[in-house]
Structure 1
Amino acid sequence: MRVGAPGKPKDPFSAALEALRDQLRNGRLVSGEPLTITDLAHDLGLSATPVREALSRLAGERLIEDRRGRGYFAPRLDVSDVVELYGLRRLYLAEALAESGEAVPLSPPEAPDPALSSCAQLGQFLDWIVARAGNRALFDAYRQVGERLASCVRVEPEVFPLSEEVAGLREALLERDRLAVALERMHDERRRHAPDVVRAMRAGANIASL
């Protein structure tokens, strides 16, 4: 994928960073594979320097691995990593509800766009919960965890009934405590099925590498 799409031109570093983030989100970087700077630079149509700087930034955000002396590698999440990340996201969502300071019932977000996948609808709903708390630091931390969970979220439709979850969460808006319980239950299910999530991710990685 070469960068340079129509629109406002980006500096090489920003272009490399955005392109690599997209590849991580979309599962193009196979779990655990080495990330060769020269190959990535060639694929993106950029020089090696901005690609190296982008990889360093992503390693600092723990989105890829920097194995000192061996180079950069695509992330490889184990079951324990998935359990911890989903647990951390649940805590951020619970804190967002506690900070929102609005009496029940909560004002629901706009009805989900039926053209969006259930995965995208769920993501938008969770983003809305955190954004409405008005805490920028909390939202930034939540989004960073979301970036690390991107490969898990991508396979969630294979493991969880997302459409039912979205409907249940919207219904639970009638009562704040009920929404908190629904979010906790949803994340407990993800932690309990972390082995299934990891298997789905690795199966997808194997297909991508063919």
Structure 2
Amino acid sequence: MARNRDPFMQALSSLRERIQSGRIAGGSPVIVQDEALSLRLSTTPVREALARLSGEGLVERAPSGGYVALRLDATAARDRYAMHAQFVRIALDLNSRALAPLRAPAPDIDIASTDAAQQLFTGIVRSAGNQVLWEAFLKVSGQLDIMRRLELRLFGDRRQEADALYRAYVAGGDPPFEVLLDLYHDRRIRASGALAALAERGPEQA
């Protein structure tokens, strides 16, 4: 008989969403018994969910045992934005070698969404067809989700930014997509300190 994974998925989705939204603050302990009680589950699916999230880098093993939620300080955020950009560049290079002079078709995205640029980057990396690259990109992207939500407080032009990226990817032009890609990430790298400070304050105070 197939094992029922619903309790595991319930624990996983709840923990992931609360960590990425900042409702579980970075550096805070995640206590298995407390989570199980809150979710009305046994401790087993909660432990399994935390093991999965540890693999995703969203929780870390505490020196004294148990888990703590990932805390991104300015340096950690900066490094992840830099790697995020590098993964997209690698995907562009892989596609260029396979398809030159063509470019991989643009993914379907909701250009009106505040997350449209990330949808575009995700589609580009997926199209490269490299599993190792894809898994590394997903891990870093998941860790950056909390910063991505906080970007809304600093950058009021994210939709325009995404529109420019999409148009450059589809039609080319000046500046080229690769330049806009660098500009997108460079402004976030420069803002890593401010984003980390907002994350430290938590969603209600931020």
TM over 0.5: yes
Q: Which residue of 2 aligns with 1:178?
A: 176
Contact 2:85 2:182 in 1 (8 A): yes
Bigger CA drift: 30-39 or 56-65?
56-65
Within the candidate set 3, 7, 11, 1:12 is matched to 7
1:111-154 deviation line (CA, Å, top 9, x unaligned): 6253xx31x22221111111121222211110111111111111
Q: SS of the residue aligned with 2:67?
A: strand
Deviation at 1:166, TM superposition (A): 0.5
Q: CA RMSD in A?
A: 2.3
Residue identity in the other structure for 2:185: H
* Count of equivalent residues: 197
Q: Which residue of 2 aligns with 1:66?
A: 61
Q: Return the alpha-carbon distance in structure 2 between the equivalents of residues 37 and 59 of structure 1.
A: 14
TM-score of the two chains, using structure 2 as the length reference: 0.85
Contact 2:12 2:50 in 1 (8 A): yes
Q: Identity of paired residues, percent?
A: 32
Structure 1 residues without counterparts, runs of 5 or longer: 1-8
1:143-200 deviation line (CA, Å, top 9, x unaligned): 1111111111111111222112101101212239811111111111111111111122
Structure 1 segment 1-210 matched on structure 2, within 5 A: 10-101=5-96, 102=99, 103-104=101-102, 107-110=105-108, 112=110, 114=112, 117-118=113-114, 120-160=115-155, 161-173=157-169, 174-175=171-172, 178-205=176-203, 207=205
TM-score of the two chains, using structure 1 as the length reference: 0.83
CA distance 1:134–1:49, shift in 2 (3 Å): same
Structure 2 residues without counterparts, runs of 5 or longer: none
